[in-house]
Structure 1
């Protein structure tokens, strides 16, 4: 069976093999962006500040 692996995949596999601490750093950095606790008061403020969307410019009322 033929298993093609691109140069990019081979490079990343080798990089991870040579630097095992990258996985830990990657997860820590992921947590900074994606696993964030949302402040309910701040979220309520965002909802209250929403502006109603205007109708399509060329739509005749």
Structure 2
């Protein structure tokens, strides 16, 4: 053990999250269910291919107007 050891520090945010998890043990499971509901979805390969084919190439300088080139 080092001679000048400091006490373990926990930020206010860490203390708050630890306290919240202690009060509501099911919180992490609820977060996982919410994430699965909105984000963890299977990608339809046919739709992904259609979306890729429908992309339009972006011009090199998007803020240049057509009238500015003449």
Q: Flag as ranges the 4+ runs of structure 1 deviating above 6 A.
A: none
RMSD: 1.9
Structure 2 gaps of 5+ residues are 1-5, 65-70
* Correspondences of 1:1-61 after superposition (within 5 Å): 1-56=6-61, 57=64
Larger radius of gyration: 2
Instruction: Give the structure with the higher percent helix.
Output: 1
Which is bigger in relative contact order (C-alpha 8 A, separation at least 6)? 1
Q: TM-score, normalised by structure 1?
A: 0.79
